[in-house]
Amino acid sequence: MRLEGSTVIVTGAGSGIGRALSVELARAGAELMLVGRRRDVLEETRNLFPPGPDAEIVTADLTLGADRVRVRDRAMAAFSGLDLLVNNAGIMDAATFAATSDGMMERMLATNLMAPFALTRELLPLLQAGGAPRIVNMGSLLGDIAMPNFAGYAATKFALRGLSDALRRELKPMGIGVTYVAPRATRTEGLDQIAHFVDTKGTKLDDPQLLARRIVGAIERGRRYLYPSGAERLFLLVQRFAPALIDRSVSTRTQEPQGQSPIPQISSR
């Protein structure tokens, strides 16, 4: 996919991976629409862009149908077609299963699953009008390897991975590609909010800028998936072909202080 001159929407563009990815896409020459709940942080992201076309800013709560429609309407007014939709907005609530409330679960389902599902549906006609259009869904390694204290979050990311596979197969005849990205632990503001459940000492945390460059590369090459390299690839193979090994390893640690994971690298966003 050629990014120079492409039209792009990035959700959750005000911080973390969304901000870093927006900056990389702007450097590649894309014309962007930044979507998020707070205008001030979206403007901070836009201020990091190199000289070029002024990015659109749309403040929206994507868990609300009316706001998703407003994003669609703004996109239709700004673009004749949409080349790239990045469903990056997401939240992570960490808690033991017994302490995970209905409200926590409903919030994660609404943000991590329903929002990308419904926003993609709203923007589908505009994507069909794009040139070699692509959807990028931001998942997590916890969408492949579920860990204690992250049952709700993992469930939403497993579902997003399934949605990505289904869309890839259904939308292929329309010429729309789908890339599912599964980052590991990334140095973002959100990691501080779950510090009680994640042992970050000695954990390799990915830099958002480096991850953003890898995502841009995956978009340009039209890749179906983007996973970390290194030890995590081995864990994925173990999960798929010998999951009992991970069951035994993780289950022996669930009572440790702060819910520390034996594979801290996969405690992702």
How much of the chain is in helix, strand and coil states, percent to nearest 5? 50, 10, 35
Q: How far apart are CA 71 and CA 62, in angstroms?
A: 9
Catalytic residue among 153, 172, 204, 227: 153
Q: 234 by DSSP, 3-state: which? A: helix
Q: Which long-range contacts (CB under 8 A, 24 or more apart) does 230-235 make?
A: 231/265, 232/141, 232/184, 232/265, 232/266, 235/141, 235/145, 235/263, 235/266
Task: Determine contact, residues 160/139, Cβ cutoff 8 Å.
Answer: yes
Active site residue 153: yes
Task: Determine contact, residues 209/20, Cβ cutoff 8 Å.
Answer: yes
Q: How many residues are there in the chain?
A: 269
Q: Name beta bridge partners: 137.
A: 87, 180
Q: How far apart are CA 104 and CA 112, in angstroms?
A: 12
> Tokens in use for 168?
């890839």
List, by residue number, the catalytic residues: 153, 157
